[in-house]
Amino acid sequence: MSAETKFDDDYPAYTMGRAAEILGTTPGFLRSLDEAKLITPPQRSAGGHRRYSRYQLRIAARAREIVDQGTPLDAACRIIILEDQLEEALRINEQLRRDHT
């Protein structure tokens, strides 16, 4: 594994068990995020095991934070999707503003 790959946010570096341990949650919680389509389907190892990237872990951590505050999982997923859409729209607006000044 190259140093570049090692620090790539999209590189599937973590097994489901390790990802759950890092997040302080269960593999079932991660599976529920897959089923809710909050995170793109994780990569699979040669043996067929799910592997998660740092980016996916950040999204899962945000979902866990919202769920831990008492929000149902489906609503937490929707909140995160809307937050991402808003962030992207703001980024595009800022870029357009810079391009037209």
Segment 47-72, tens digit of pLDDT: 888 899 999 999 999 999 999 999 99
pLDDT at 101: 77
Lowest pLDDT segment from 28-37, 40-49, 86-95: 40-49
Q: What is the pTM of this model?
A: 0.80
pLDDT at 7: 66
Higher pLDDT, 59 or 8: 59
Contacts of 13 (CB under 8 A, 6+ apart): 6, 51, 52, 53, 54
Cα separations in angstroms, 56 against 16, 50, 100 = 11, 12, 34
Question: Which residues are 44's β-sheet partners?
Answer: 50
Flag whether pLDDT at 44 surpasses 90.
no
Task: Give which of 69, 70, 65 is closest to 33, Cα–Cα.
Answer: 65
